[in-house]
Amino acid sequence: MPPVRVLTVEGATVTFGGRRVLDGVSFSVEAGEFVGLIGANGAGKTTLFRVVLGLLKPSAGTVRHLGRRVGYVPQKVAIEPDAPLRARDLVALGLDGERFGVRLPSRSRRERVDRMLEAVGAAAFADARVGTLSGGEQQRVLIAHALVGQPSLLVMDEPLANLDIKSGHEIVELVARLAVEQDLAVLLSAHEMNAILPHMDRVVYLAEGRAVSGTTGEVIRSDVLSELYRYPVKVLDVDGTVVVVGGHDVKVR
Amino acid sequence: MTNAWLAGSLVAVVAGVVGFFVVLRGATFAAHGVPLASFAGAAGASVVGVPAVVGLAVFSPVAAVAIGLLGRRRRSDVVTALVVAAMLGLGALFLSWTVEYASEIYALLFGEVLGVTGTEVWLSAALTGAALLAVATLYRPLLLSSVAGEVAEARGVRTARLELLFLVLMAVVTTLAVPVVGTLLMFTLMVGPPAAARAFVRSPLAAMAASVGIALVTVWLAIALAYETTWPIGFFVGIAGAAWYVLARVVAARRR
Ligand SMILES: Nc1ncnc2c1ncn2[C@@H]1O[C@H](COP(=O)(O)OP(=O)(O)OP(=O)(O)O)[C@@H](O)[C@H]1O
Ligand SMILES: [Mg+2]
């Protein structure tokens, strides 16, 4: 059976004030794949996500989705601590938050929400107000919101930006595990790539409006990354774990 | 007197429900601005010699749509302030052309719930029904877009259109309430009870219910006290609105 392409972007072009931020970007994501999107600040990662999610219409090019819906986890949400919205309320909105009309609570809905909260490790704070949770806890709740509707593609913009090393690894492992369990494709952007390296099947990198994609082994190399960031970047093997570090002072022993 | 209780209760219910979203969306300034702007419409109505309600009904949706459309690309607080300023300027001009309606204008600012007629109660009931139906219809997308706009948009919610609809709903609610409790008090009722309710409960529906309950108690108390003391009802609603909030903060602080 040929792999299903859940997302196909062809020739996406976006211009802001005469500047081409995306210039004919093409790539695709297959079912069950874990794809990392990398690129320097201002390279157009968030812009590309907005195109993929249909929030921004490209001046040229097409975006095709196959399969069920798309789940989206923004980098962060600004919810005040006082807002009367529990973690479980936000996850329940993931079931059908876009629909009009009244929906009576039901046992099966409640169970789906509970199971999802459990799966992301958010059961302990299910009844807390979302606004009072820490960045990492909110991240889990947002992931549950995105996944409870059983999407075929999960899009995450810099999910690791506010997380400490442990939380970052836990979130990535969680998503990688759920991706396998739910046959989910994952597309996420990250500056700090060490946490995602062990799980990433493919890398799409953005530079000067163009996208190049390759396997992790092809892209995560000192010469390729140094060229991409125009800055010395080294890919090292530390006790069997591949790590990426940057800076003029990095010496390889 | 029965009319006052009925009209006051209807206003409290609708202010509690719509106010929940006003506070959640951080739209309190617009909630303040739309009634103020529509007050200019009432002044204008007295100039041309039509009932004040007609002026309100025309001006409040216009103000709401102006705030909604202009605020899309610019800072919405600045846009709200400028729309209100322009409308108030217009209102001042209209006022200068009328002399004999001073008491009617006063009633529009502070309401005359004790003088509500049976017809006005029926009108209030119809508008309350419509407003509640609208909130029930928009409930989920409105809730999601209030707390996580981009997530809602990525799910296909037309957030800009929803924002406009919500502002118009607020305008309709204002039209309903201003002849009863006045422009200034409507604002108090749409902000005080919902803001206080959040300290007591955690879920959206519970907060909405608590907000309605607090608004009802406020209005009932104010009507009873105004009747006993002959002081203006506005005094009691205004003070109670702020007092609930202080009480709520104390409760929240002690819980921590
Ligand atoms: N609405 C907009 N109007 C004008 N320019 C924009 C707009 N949105 C983005 N840009 C520009 O497009 C470029 C790409 O922005 P984008 O946010 O996509 O970058 P990014 O790769 O996500 O960066 P970062 O790593 O810092 O998050 C930037 O130069 C930015 O200034
Ligand atoms: Mg970005």
For chain B, the structural domain boundaries read 2-182
Question: Best mutation site among A16, A23, A229 for ligand 1, i.e. most ligand atoms within 8 A of its Cβ?
Answer: A16
Which of the two residues, B186 and B193, has the higher pLDDT score? B193
Least Cα distance to A79 among A139, A122, A125 occurs for A139
pLDDT tens for A182-220 read 889 999 998 878 888 888 899 898 888 888 888 777 777
Helix axes A135-147, A107-119, angle to 10 degrees: 130
pLDDT given for residue B101 in this prediction: 59
What pLDDT, on a 0 to 100 scale, did the predictor assign at position A114? 96
Q: Answer with the residue of higher pLDDT: B214 or A19.
A: B214
From A4-8, A186-190, B177-181, B192-196, the region with the lowest mean pLDDT = B177-181
Give residue A116's pLDDT band: very low, low, confident or very high (50, 70, 90): very high
List the A185-189 sheet strands across, edge first: A70-73, A153-156, A185-189, A34-38, A202-207, A210-215
Helix (H) or strand (E) holding A237: strand A233-238
pLDDT of residue B169: 92
| B217 vs A190, higher pLDDT | B217
Q: What is the CA radius of gyration of chain B?
A: 18
CATH H-level superfamily of A1-68+153-253: P-loop containing nucleotide triphosphate hydrolases (3.40.50.300)
Residues of chain A with CATH 3.40.50.300: 1-68+153-253
CB nearest to B147's CB, from A77, A100, A128: A77
ipTM above threshold 0.90: no
Above 70 in pLDDT, residue B18?
Answer: yes
| Neighbour-count burial for B178-210, b at 16+ CB within 10 Å, e otherwise | bbbbbbbbbbbbbbbbbbbbbbbebebeebbbb
* pLDDT tens per residue across span B197-208: 998 999 999 999
For the stretch B91-144, pLDDT in tens is 889 888 876 556 766 777 777 777 788 888 888 899 899 999 999 999 999 999
pLDDT on residue B196: 93
List residues of A whose CB lies inside 8 A of any B CB: 53-55, 69-70, 72, 74, 77, 79, 82-86, 89-90, 93, 96-103, 127-130, 142, 145-146, 155
| Mean pLDDT value across residues B242-252 | 87
Q: Which CATH superfamily is domain B2-182 in?
A: ABC transporter involved in vitamin B12 uptake, BtuC (1.10.3470.10)
Phi and psi, residue B21, nearest 5°: -75, -30
For A1, how many CA atoms within 13 A lie in the half-sphere containing its CB?
5
Residue A134 reports pLDDT greater than 60: yes
**pLDDT at residue A253 is higher than 70:** no
**pTM flag (> 0.80):** yes
Portion of chain B with pLDDT greater than 90, in percent? 34
Round the average pLDDT of chain A to a whole number and report it. Answer: 86
A150-175: average pLDDT:
87
